[in-house]
Amino acid sequence: MTTRPVPAPPRPGACGAAPRPVPPGSPPGTATAARTEGPGVWPAVLPAPRGNDAGLWLLRLPEALPARHALDVSVLDATERRRAASFVHAADRAGYAAAHIAVRKVLGACLGVAPAAVRLRRDPCPCCGGPHGRPTRLADPPPYFSLAHGGGVVLIGVARVPVGVAAERPPAPSALPAVSGVLSLAERAEVSAAAPERRAEVFARLWAGRRALRRARGDGAGTHGAHGWQVTGLPVDDLWLAVAVRRTADAPEGRVTLHHLDQRGVFTPAAPPGGSAW
């Protein structure tokens, strides 16, 4: 499969320059080298991650998913089905199911097993200790994985080292004063220093980086203790994607590769058009 560079957003004086590797301790949102593969890539077999490299898989779900499509829920376990059924709204149930179908297919390809054979669990919540923290593999890693979903987007990250991912859309410029309070003083200063037309984009990059790092650490600590982590910001259409991986001494630089997944990969193959939603 062919690859092509993902362009970085133009910056003053950058002239569209390629993203740069992230030095140790860099703040969230610093871009590094990344590549992307064309749409329709559902992996059957994947090589084991190497060094600090991370693979990202991006799936965009149809807006009318609950009403028009039947999901292939045969690969989900009983816990996932109960969790999905607990959502009040059909769109939330379908989004959760689609995300977990996708992550099972990607991890199954990495592990050389069927998607239904991937054993997952929930870590304790870092805030309250409840059984609804980040999803992890029941077996000893690697590979590590991270899952983010919502708003019709599913993002999966896989790496040999601890990894976290996040996807964020820039807010409306009028909403920036209300949402900027979630950033640190230094991050708010970075948003304010940007040209007015770019401030929403800068906010999305910083906030996605914060969320990715928090998921990678699994402790809810945000950007505190970011030393030793590589945080990559990646612009894709109307989204800012972020991935955080733990740096290791034997592989200090990592590459992020983005794969676009076909929507049809989460549906029941034999389902007729307009089939019942799950």
Listed residue (140, 202, 204, 210) closest to 169, CA to CA:
204
What is the structure's pLDDT at 157?
Answer: 96
Assigned token pair, 252: 């200090």
Report which secondary-structure segment, H or E, holds 103.
helix 90-111
Percent of the chain with pLDDT over 90: 45
The pTM for the full model equals 0.81
Q: Where are the domains of the chain?
A: 25-265
CA separation for the pair 151, 149 (Å, rounded): 7
Q: Does 215 have pLDDT greater than 50?
A: yes
CA separation for the pair 217, 221 (Å, rounded): 8
Report which secondary-structure segment, H or E, holds 111.
helix 90-111
What is the structure's pLDDT at 20?
Answer: 37
> What average pLDDT does this structure show over 96-106?
94
What is the structure's pLDDT at 37?
Answer: 67
The per-residue pLDDT of the chain, averaged, comes to: 79
- Of 58 and 35, the structure prediction assigns the larger pLDDT to 58
> What average pLDDT does this structure show over 140-165?
91
CA separation for the pair 165, 262 (Å, rounded): 20
Going by pLDDT thresholds of 50, 70 and 90, the confidence category of residue 21 is very low
What is the structure's pLDDT at 91?
Answer: 86
Q: Which residue intervals of 45-89 are DSSP H helices?
A: 65-68, 78-85
List pLDDT tens digits, range 247-271.
887 777 889 999 999 988 888 765 5
> What average pLDDT does this structure show over 204-218?
91
Q: Does 134 have pLDDT greater than 80?
A: no
What is the structure's pLDDT at 278?
Answer: 45
Q: What is residue 37's three-state secondary structure?
A: strand
The CATH superfamily assigned to 25-265 is 4'-phosphopantetheinyl transferase domain (3.90.470.20)
- Of 5 and 254, the structure prediction assigns the larger pLDDT to 254
> What average pLDDT does this structure show over 211-225?
73
- Of 140 and 259, the structure prediction assigns the larger pLDDT to 259
Query: Residue 155's CB: how many other CB atoms inside 10 A?
Result: 27
Percent of the chain with pLDDT over 70: 74
What is the structure's pLDDT at 54?
Answer: 94
Residue 103's alpha-carbon distances to 29, 118, 157, 180, 211, in angstroms, are 24, 9, 9, 31, 19
Going by pLDDT thresholds of 50, 70 and 90, the confidence category of residue 90 is confident
- Whether 223 and 184 have beta carbons less than 8 Å apart is answered as yes
Residue found under tokens 């499969």 = 1
Q: Does 205 have pLDDT greater than 80?
A: yes
